[in-house]
């Protein structure tokens, strides 16, 4: 799979997972972590636009990791 397409797929998956989180009750610490995940998501989109696929991929994976902690537990 093309690097750009892979990152775009991961970005879309993050957006879908974020919708699942928005339906949950979050405390203040959780809200801060979700905000950090959103910042990494935005960074990923920025680096993808700049064609820095390595950094974009790293950012979106970190964002996924932060969200996964809420979706799995």
Residue pLDDT, tens place only, 36-59: 999 999 999 999 999 999 999 999
Count: domains in the chain: 1
Per the domain annotation, does 9 fall within a domain?
no
Residue pLDDT, tens place only, 5-32: 999 999 999 999 998 886 677 888 888 9
Distance CA 53, CA 45 (A): 10
Element (H, E) at 69: helix 53-72
Per the domain annotation, does 2 fall within a domain?
no
Residue pLDDT, tens place only, 56-72: 999 999 999 999 887 77
Per the domain annotation, does 54 fall within a domain?
yes
- pTM for the model stands at 0.89
> The CATH number of the domain where 38 resides is what?
1.20.1270.90
Per the domain annotation, does 73 fall within a domain?
yes
Specify the pLDDT at position 49: 97
In terms of residue numbers, what domain contains 42?
Answer: 28-73
Specify the pLDDT at position 52: 97
Per the domain annotation, does 4 fall within a domain?
no
Residues 71 and 22 sit within 8 Å (Cβ to Cβ): no
Distance CA 52, CA 36 (A): 21
């Amino acid at each position: 799979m093309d690097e750009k397409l892979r990152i775009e797929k991961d970005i879309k998956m993050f957006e879908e997972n974020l919708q699942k989180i928005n339906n949950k009750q979050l405390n203040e610490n959780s809200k801060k972590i979700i905000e950090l995940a959103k910042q990494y998501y935005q960074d990923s989109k920025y680096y993808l636009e700049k064609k820095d696929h390595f950094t974009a991929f790293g950012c979106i994976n970190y964002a996924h990791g932060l969200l996964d902690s809420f979706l799995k537990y």
